[in-house]
Structure 1
Amino acid sequence: MSGFDTYKTPLDSRYSSPEMKALFGARSRHSVWRKLWYWLAQSEKEVGLEGISDEALAQMAEHLTVTDEDFAVAAIEEKRRRHDVMAHVHAFGEVAPAAAPIIHLGATSCFVTDNAELILMRDAMDLLLPKLAKVIRNFSQFALHTKDIPTLGWTHYQPAQIITTGRRAAQWVQDLMMDLKNIEIQRQGLLFRGAMGTTGTQASFLEIFQGDGAKIDKLNELLCQKAGFPKTYDISVQTYSRKVDLDIANAICGLGTTAMHITSDIRHLANMKELEEPFEKDQIGSSAMAYKRNPMRSERICSLGRKLRSLPVNFADTYADQWFERSLDDSAIRRIDIPEMMLLADAILIGLDNVSSGLVTYPKRIHAHVMEELPFMATENIIMKMVAKGGSRQEAHEQIRVLSHQASDVVKNQGGKNDLIERIKATEYFKPVWDEIDGLLDPKLFVGRSVEMVERYCGAGGPVEEKLKPYAEYITKAGTAQLNV
């Protein structure tokens, strides 16, 4: 069969990065298993366990990367034994015969499967965090660039008080900053399962070390050092608690909701022709309608985000359904969900980086939309001016109400433009403020502290700049992510 004859996940063929796909590939995973067996044997020898020779360790060290031949051996053995871990123990022993008697000594299968999962999730978060930081930087720069472009705010998807384009983008930035914080918390708090035995009591290791618990503690200290973790979880059963997976999923999958929110806004703005995602010179928007410039990048991100945001329920169910010290109904779903979660997040960040690096605004179009609604928004200021001239607020309000309904009728039923200002200028009651009305129609008078808020949050010395300092080198060196297809 060729590669076109069997199913291949689109996360591999279309969306995710080579580095993330490689991380969760079979060679990476099973090579981590071999490293864990090597570290275990090393550490057991270092705390005084006899029977582990230097030759055994040397042979293990020479074969830490699983080859195609190793996979072939393991496949045959797994078919016989129906046990993937023992199949790979056998394959490792064939290329490191001096170590064969001591590979996996004292361990249960979860020593390699769970510890490997923790390593892979840690390394995946280390790939995601800098990419997320760059996306935040992109949107932050966009917010600063557009901080003083007045635009309609929308509540209930109805025109509301004016904000600025940059002020809206600053909200996107803040939401992404929350995702960055949540993922960082999970990354920084991630611990190791270590060597815990079959039910987490370390009984097998107590037997190996003849009742010396201090040696077991030292063994786990060494394993953590070699694997790059600060310590082990205080309590584990046969597995580390699946609550860990749920906490990580809540942080990672939260990014999916943020991505959907941001790109849904972009899609609506594209419909209004106020904002567009990048559009390549030869890109086709529609197979039938040649004029179209569909926001396909944002639509893709929404689609991937919808899938990502749905995953926490699987992790919650897996955690809740574990029986006592462990049941195997967690295995198959985690093989799917953990890699898929990281690949989805990776693909979303590739898309967000691409979109946020090339957003295009159309200030004249934005201004035109503002001016369609501004007459209604300016009426409160006109009323205040009338009161300052000695008029009655209630009477001014009633006059405005009547004229506003007339102008709305022109817009809604006659298809005309908003002529409220012209009506006010033609109404004798408002003659005391006629000369001042035009001065009240500058959109910048209605944006409040939008510009200041963007500068304080996204500008020099602000929270965004401070938060992104650890990622500065990556941001500087990384180019714009390109979509695979």
Structure 2
Amino acid sequence: MDCPVFTRYATEEMLRIFSEEAKIQRWLKVEAALAEAQAELGIIPKEAAEEISKKANLNFVSIKRIKEIEERIDHDLLAVVNALAEVCDKGYGRYVHMGATSYDIEDTAWAMAFRDALLIIKDKLTKLTRILIEKAKEYKELVCIGRTHGQHALPITYGMKFALWSYDIFGCIKRLDFFLNNSIEGKMSGAVGTFAGFGDKGIELQKKVMEKLNLKSALISNQIVQRDKFADIIYLLAIIASCLEKIAKEIRNLQRTEIGEVLEPFYKEQAGSSAMPHKRNPHRSERICSLARYLRSLVHVALENVALEHERDLTNSANERIILTHSFILVDFMLLEIISIIKGLIINVKNVQKNLNLMKGANLSERILIKLVEKGIPRHIGYEIIKNAAIKSFEENLDFVELLYENELIRKSITKEELRQLVNPYEYIGLSKEIVDLTINQIEQSIS
């Protein structure tokens, strides 16, 4: 049975990084860099390094032969080492992997994969940020009802919604950049981190190997790069997934029939339900929310891998084959989905306006309360008057302003015309437009 992560969600870009062939090719590349560095330091013959480097690719080392060896010895990295050694002429194969341990190769190869995959993720995050910024500009003046606790609150604008999301995604880019610059490390320090297999040239050797692979060296390690680094990356990807879910969940809620302000793109031959032809389900946003749940669950596994025994045990290995590839592949897919959704998002302006006025002005209670206080009415008294009028207006479908004006204290303090003006939602959006402009300008300067 095929894994849906690879068959349903993996893009070609991610498959080029996380396929079995790509993994083995990275291992071979690390072995070649090790041999080259050892030759430069006089640890192995120059001719041996040239032969190893020449043969360390899948043109010479066959996947079939690697699997045959692995079937016999039950060790995938050593199978690659042995298969590479077999194809090296003049006995130079004996120098392959000399002094190294498996995780010198595997963890360094993981660092290469992390770097390449994160750059792909960053490119999509940047694209999404730009799309959200354009939407923020387009809808900067579209006033809508804000909601807190699922209830109508004060007016905001759709421009603010998009600008806030762009700020969230920009924050993800900044976190990603920090990780790229500080947390991706390889190692070449041997079985317990002492460089013993490389003699007194170990530190210099590790530096050379990492330079060849354009990686940073771990300052200190045991048999592995410490797993807090790996937990960092799973956590980073889970945060990105959660930010995407935040957008998708809002789209889902705004697409509810009784709200109807937003619609996912819906194509001519698309179907929403097998039973109900009228359905136009936000299934793509739902998919993003579903995958985000799974991705967050992987953070727990990654944290469990941090506390390995002594200089390491193998309890991280099996699950890392799953959680690392799945996290990258799924976040990449989620980004493609949300980019497509936002680009084709439909906003029903009529429903936006209808919902904005649904409470007949009662949702402008804050503005009225402030004005009543300015008119000399104690805040707690004004609060009760407004609250009671709002409840009666909602329950009996009565005009909110008329109900307010039935109160003698209100009539003595303010005119009905003033009240009508105070419940105009288009005049109580605060600094929404300025906030959108400020947010857009700062983000655009940073990502330009």
TM-score after normalising by structure 2: 0.91
Aligned AA for 1:244?
A: K
Displacement after TM superposition at 1:58 (Å): 4.1
Cross-structure match for 2:349 = 363
**Which residue among 33, 49, 62 is the counterpart of 2:43?**
49
* In the alignment, structure 1 residue 130 sits paired with structure 2 residue 123: yes
Aligned AA for 2:122?
A: L
* In the alignment, structure 1 residue 377 sits paired with structure 2 residue 363: yes
**Which residue among 50, 69, 75 is the counterpart of 2:67?**
75
Distance (Å, rounded) in 2 between the aligned partners of 1:393 and 1:193: 63
Give the secondary structure class of the aligned counterpart of 1:293. coil
Alpha-carbon distance change, 391 to 43 in structure 1, aligned in 2, over 3 angstroms: closer
**Which residue among 435, 443, 448 is the counterpart of 1:453?**
435
Distance (Å, rounded) in 2 between the aligned partners of 1:390 and 1:106: 84
Alpha-carbon distance change, 397 to 108 in structure 1, aligned in 2, over 3 angstroms: closer
Question: C-alpha offsets along residues 355-403 of structure 1, whole Å, 9 cap, x if unaligned?
Answer: 1212221122111111112521345555666777788888766654554
Question: C-alpha offsets along residues 87-123 of structure 1, whole Å, 9 cap, x if unaligned?
Answer: 1112112322343111111111112111111111111
Alpha-carbon distance change, 422 to 196 in structure 1, aligned in 2, over 3 angstroms: same
Cross-structure match for 1:193 = 186
Distance (Å, rounded) in 2 between the aligned partners of 1:47 and 1:71: 31
Give the secondary structure class of the aligned counterpart of 1:239. coil
Kept in 1, the 8 Å contact 2:362–2:400? The answer is yes
Displacement after TM superposition at 1:148 (Å): 1.6
Aligned AA for 2:444?
A: E
Displacement after TM superposition at 1:303 (Å): 0.9
* In the alignment, structure 1 residue 468 sits paired with structure 2 residue 447: yes
Alpha-carbon distance change, 203 to 388 in structure 1, aligned in 2, over 3 angstroms: closer
Aligned AA for 2:330?
A: L
Displacement after TM superposition at 1:423 (Å): 4.1
Gaps of at least 5 residues in structure 2 are none
* In the alignment, structure 1 residue 328 sits paired with structure 2 residue 322: no
Between stretches 93-102 and 295-304, larger displacement belongs to 93-102
Distance (Å, rounded) in 2 between the aligned partners of 1:282 and 1:426: 55
* In the alignment, structure 1 residue 35 sits paired with structure 2 residue 47: no
Displacement after TM superposition at 1:60 (Å): 3.3
Aligned AA for 1:161?
A: L
Cross-structure match for 1:117 = 110
Displacement after TM superposition at 1:50 (Å): 4.4
Kept in 2, the 8 Å contact 1:153–1:162? The answer is yes
Cross-structure match for 1:238 = 223
Cross-structure match for 1:153 = 146
* In the alignment, structure 1 residue 257 sits paired with structure 2 residue 242: yes
Kept in 2, the 8 Å contact 1:118–1:192? The answer is yes
Kept in 2, the 8 Å contact 1:193–1:239? The answer is no
Alpha-carbon distance change, 155 to 111 in structure 1, aligned in 2, over 3 angstroms: same
Alpha-carbon distance change, 382 to 347 in structure 1, aligned in 2, over 3 angstroms: closer
Displacement after TM superposition at 1:177 (Å): 2.0
Matches within 5 A, 1:437-448: 437-448=419-430
TM-score after normalising by structure 1: 0.85
Percent identical: 30
Alpha-carbon distance change, 401 to 201 in structure 1, aligned in 2, over 3 angstroms: closer
Between stretches 328-337 and 355-364, larger displacement belongs to 355-364
Distance (Å, rounded) in 1 between the aligned partners of 2:312 and 2:383: 70
Alpha-carbon distance change, 329 to 399 in structure 1, aligned in 2, over 3 angstroms: closer
Give the secondary structure class of the aligned counterpart of 2:309. coil
**Which residue among 241, 251, 262 is the counterpart of 1:266?**
251
Alpha-carbon distance change, 91 to 392 in structure 1, aligned in 2, over 3 angstroms: closer
Distance (Å, rounded) in 1 between the aligned partners of 2:326 and 2:88: 33
Distance (Å, rounded) in 2 between the aligned partners of 1:232 and 1:310: 30
Cross-structure match for 1:289 = 276
Question: C-alpha offsets along residues 147-198 of structure 1, whole Å, 9 cap, x if unaligned?
Answer: 2211111111111111111212222222222222222111111343332011
Question: C-alpha offsets along residues 248-285 of structure 1, whole Å, 9 cap, x if unaligned?
Answer: 11111111211222211110001111011222122111
Alpha-carbon distance change, 386 to 101 in structure 1, aligned in 2, over 3 angstroms: closer
Give the secondary structure class of the aligned counterpart of 2:109. helix
Aligned AA for 2:325?
A: P
* In the alignment, structure 1 residue 12 sits paired with structure 2 residue 6: yes
Kept in 2, the 8 Å contact 1:284–1:293? The answer is yes
Alpha-carbon distance change, 90 to 378 in structure 1, aligned in 2, over 3 angstroms: closer
CA RMSD of aligned residues (A): 2.4
Question: C-alpha offsets along residues 221-250 of structure 1, whole Å, 9 cap, x if unaligned?
Answer: 221111001x31111101111111011111
Displacement after TM superposition at 1:425 (Å): 6.4
Question: Which of the pair has the greater relative contact order for Cα pairs under 8 Å at 6+ separation?
Answer: 1
Gaps of at least 5 residues in structure 1 are 1-6, 207-212, 412-417, 470-485
Give the secondary structure class of the aligned counterpart of 2:144. strand
**Which residue among 267, 279, 282 is the counterpart of 2:266?**
279
**Which residue among 12, 18, 23 is the counterpart of 1:24?**
18
Give the secondary structure class of the aligned counterpart of 2:358. helix
Question: C-alpha offsets along residues 32-75 of structure 1, whole Å, 9 cap, x if unaligned?
Answer: 1111111111111111234341xx44443443332597111111
Alpha-carbon distance change, 163 to 325 in structure 1, aligned in 2, over 3 angstroms: same
Question: C-alpha offsets along residues 414-440 of structure 1, whole Å, 9 cap, x if unaligned?
Answer: xxxx52234456778649613344433
Kept in 2, the 8 Å contact 1:275–1:362? The answer is yes
Alpha-carbon distance change, 116 to 50 in structure 1, aligned in 2, over 3 angstroms: closer
Displacement after TM superposition at 1:405 (Å): 3.5
Displacement after TM superposition at 1:291 (Å): 1.8
Distance (Å, rounded) in 2 between the aligned partners of 1:10 and 1:312: 20
